A and B are shown apart, each in its own frame.
Chain A
Amino acid sequence: MAAVADVGAAICLVLGSLLALIAAVGVLRFPDVLTRMHSATKPQVLGLLLVLLGIGLRLRDPGATGLLLLVGLSQLVTSPIATHMVGRAAFRAGQVRRDLLVVDELSQTLDQDR
């Protein structure tokens, strides 16, 4: 049983690290802030959750598991808020490539408010 949990932990750790690398490649390769935000949230949070699951499977300690759950939960809650603020600030400052946007409803609303 312990060996199975260790193998599961190893798989989770490697997959999580791979997703972190994928997120980094996305942040480096994508063309503007909004697309970079996509890879900064989704693969990064999933990779972190996989690493936390790997730690939990390896340590098998209730106290550590509680702390890991708290870290994962705080990532899930804070990551959308942070990227929402970043996207909003970048859009309003005009630091977004508009030629890449398919639909742009926010610009109209912002123009009406002025």
Chain B
Amino acid sequence: MTVVLIVCLGLLTAAAALLVVRIALGPTMMDRVVALDVLVAAVICWLGVEAAVNRHATTLPILMVLSLVGFVGSVSMARFNKGSQDIEAER
């Protein structure tokens, strides 16, 4: 199981690094929002893999909270995207 932990965390850390590069590059705010959404999912996977390998359930509520907070974050960023004259959504 230790090998699985190392392999999974290596893959997820590489994924997070690539996503941080995309967040830094942009070019628009919406690209950053999409990348942040995937980054939150990578963090959820990271915590989940650690919980599965070490066989404990203490971090599972955090997975729930993270998945909901990631959703609220990207929706509110899309809602207040600068430069959009989105009057329809205001109603």
Contact = CB atoms under 8 A, between A and B. Distances in A.
Question: Which secondary structure dominates chain B's binding surface?
Answer: helix
Contact of A52 (B8, B16, B48): B48
- Count class of interface residues, chain B: 35 or more
Interface residues of A, number: 53
Contacts of B67: 71, 74-75, 78
B8 A17 contact: yes
Interface of B: 1, 4, 7-9, 11-12, 14-16, 18-19, 21-22, 28, 30-31, 33-35, 37-38, 41-42, 44-45, 48-49, 51-53, 55, 57, 60-61, 63-64, 67-68, 70-71, 74-75, 77-79, 81-86, 89
A23 B15 contact: yes
